[in-house]
Structure formats: structure tokens, C-alpha cells
Amino acid sequence: MQPDAPRSEMPTPIACTLTPKRIPGQVAEWGDLVAQADQVVRIHGGVRLVAPASLAAGALELIERERSCCSFLDITSKVDGPTLSIEITSTQTDALPVISMLAGLPID
């Protein structure tokens, strides 16, 4: 039997802390953002959304809420001129169905 890994090396549980009533609304917000995106592509460990920078304010607020409820996701964003890029990834393959749901893109 192997000893337990130190806490700092243990993966973050794949668990959302949103209440069941709030989940559909937040998922719908991701759907709205994806619908306005110019591009949604698979990348290693997740997806990249490319959208108009005019969506940045609302997207950044949504990203912060997602980070607080789904800490197993790594979500980064960057505004470069007229373009907003958002990457949603995780080092945990068990998180891929969640990323797929948020991005509306099948991920194997």
C-alpha cells in the first residue's frame, strides 16, 4: 500500500459549488458567450474561445464566477486589440465533460 500523497499534490476534486438552482443559468451564460464567439477550438486539455473584445466585461465576470465554483478548471483570458481569447483547461481528464458542456464542443 502506498502512502497518501501530500495535500499539495492531490488534485482538486471535480465538483461544482453552485447551488442546483444557479447551475442552469450559468451554463446558459456560457452558451450565450459561445454563440457570440468567432471560433471555438480544441486545445490540449480543453478549449479556446475567440470572441470580439467588446464581450470582455461580461465574459470576465462570468470567468470569475466559474473560477470560484469550479476550481478544478484553469480559465485564462486575454484581450488583444479587437479580440478576446479565453482558454478553459484542466490537468484532470475527468474535467473534460465539464469543459465540453461549457464550450458546447465535444471533447474526447
The pLDDT tens digits of the residues spanning 76-86 come to 999 999 999 99
Q: pLDDT category, 106, cuts 50, 70, 90?
A: confident
The number of CA neighbours under 13 Å toward the Cβ of 101 is: 12
Give the CA distances from residue 6 to residues 2, 10, 11, 71, in Å, rounded to whole numbers and listed in that order. Answer: 12, 7, 10, 19
How much is the pTM?
A: 0.87
Please state the rounded mean pLDDT for residues 10-37: 93
